[in-house]
Amino acid sequence: MKRDKIVIGSRESKLAVLQSEMVRDYIKEKNPDLEVEILTMKTTGDIILDRTLDKVGGKGLFVKELDKALIAGRSILSVHSLKDMPMEVPEELPLLAFSKREDPRDVLVLPEGASELDKSKPLGCSSLRRTLQLKKLYPDMDVRSIRGNLQTRLRKLDEGQYSALILAAAGLKRLGLESRINRYFTADEIIPAAGQGILAVQGRKGEAYDFLEGYCDKKDWTAGSAERAFVKLLDGGCSSPVAAHAEILGDEIYLRGLYYDEKDGSYVTGTLRGNKADAESLGRELAETLRKKGENR
């Protein structure tokens, strides 16, 4: 069936809408006869802000409402930050494409006008993954949870509630806020969340998506798939602070991973290099290796 209108489901935050607009603009450029609109909605993860994600149900809270809209036919596709996607994706709502990746690194953001850390105030951070790794970099600093959209977090920072925030470079760059970045953390200092910097386009089984032709970045589909395979083998990606980051180097893939042992709160990191054609199996292999290493400490 030929469509004349495409409806994209999106979270209603400024960043989410901007990311959906990036996909919308691609579709319109390639299919000028199509009408494309964005349907925004508030997800459970956007509403519950007084608790950390691991306490309220994990990543699925950011996609539930968008999934319902897709299933009901109110939208034809959804745009997500891949790092917010649960590892288990419903068979009837397949992942269609991954975007070219924006900068995947985590960054340090200081209050407006500040040039150094005020160590009397906490670092603001929204994930246990970052918190664990920050303790090595800033052992003498308190790390506190901060929730809310990017603008809300920056406002709290500039009001003086935190000494700095640790955020994803990708969101800041997409919103034109790159000038707020004080320092970039290498992937060895803080291993990013699986999928960080990649947009995921999700659709409904049985629909035709020829209007998306050419959108998927093959290199970052491979990298993102390896990262998700790593996380999926360990815990399904709901709330445990595992991390994975893959780089494609010619025909090779270089994968970093972090495994967290919930029994004693310790974690181990490691790397693996191999053929990019084996991306997902390498992700699982590194996960298994780190789990054994962690459990045998």
Active site residues: 84
Rama region for 126: left / alpha / beta (φ>0; ψ in -120 to 50; rest): alpha
Residue 24: strand, helix, or coil: helix
Residues 228-258: b if buried by 16+ CB within 10 A, e if exposed: bbbbbbbbbbbbbbbbbbbbbeeeebbbbbb
Give residues with Cβ within 8 angstroms of 154, minimum separation 6. 109, 165, 177, 180
Q: Are strands 35-41 and 123-125 parallel, antiparallel or unpaired?
A: unpaired
Side-chain half-sphere exposure of 256, counting CA atoms within 13 A: 15
Q: In which residue are the tokens 């968008």 written?
A: 66
The rounded distance, in Å, linking the Cα atoms of 114 and 158 is 9
